[in-house]
Amino acid sequence: MNIKKIIIIFSIVFSLTAFVLINNEINLVESINSRLIYLKKFNAESPIMAGLYFSFLYIILTTLSLPVAFILGISSGIIFEPFKAILLVSFSSSIGATLALIVSRYIFRDYLKKKYSSQYDILNNGFVKNGVYYLFAIRMSPIFPYFLVNLVSGLTTMKIVPYYLVTQVGMLPNTTLVILLGNSLDKIILSDANIGIDIILLLTAIGILPILFKQIFKKFLNI
């Protein structure tokens, strides 16, 4: 297939996609807003049950190693108060990560070791050389995706309790930033507010901090 055909096909697909999105934009926004309003109302009426449902869903999805951590973090910032959201996500993500490690280690070990052999070599060498400090580094700076770290760590000799504790502490800064971003987006999604300086600063921090941490850890741990 030559470049002209590729450009034509891409243009057709792009045009059709844009047409569908434009024609459904209002309905999509209204649908999202209505669901968010319902979830926020449910949290106001039954805060304990709302927290339990969210935490259970988060743990199940992360135990299954589905790449939904960022979406759930943003959603929690929209639905819950910031402090409550940070508590829910921090504990749920750490518990889910630990359960994913256990599932990886005792059920799918052979399959995952074959599938992620190169990632295993990198992570395992890091754990052997630097122990939990390496885990802390990759939690603070997402060199590897969250779900991939959970899966591959189960193939190493990393102990479960240190893994849980370091995961919770290491992911807390990024967790907090994502939740605060969701809380700021709440004002935009559910109203006609404009993007403020707070959202710009949070987006900048989310983008810069992982790079900064990566450079720091690269200097001290050679990652």
Domain boundaries, the chain: 1-45, 47-221
Residues, the chain: 223
- 64 DSSP assignment: T
62 Cβ contact list (under 8 Å, min separation 6): 68, 69, 92, 93, 96, 97, 99, 100, 146, 147, 150
CA distances from 174 to 86, 88, 123, 129, 206 (A): 10, 14, 21, 25, 7
pLDDT, mean of residues 4-14: 47
Q: Mean per-residue pLDDT for 170-185?
A: 85
What is the pLDDT, as a whole number, of residue 165? Answer: 95
Radius of gyration of the chain (CA): 20
Give me the pLDDT at residue 73, please.
87
What percentage of the chain carries pLDDT values higher than 70? 67
Can you tell me the mean pLDDT for 33-57?
Answer: 86
pTM, 2 dp: 0.72
Q: For the chain, what is the mean pLDDT?
A: 76
Q: Are 141 and 217 in contact (CB under 8 A)?
A: yes
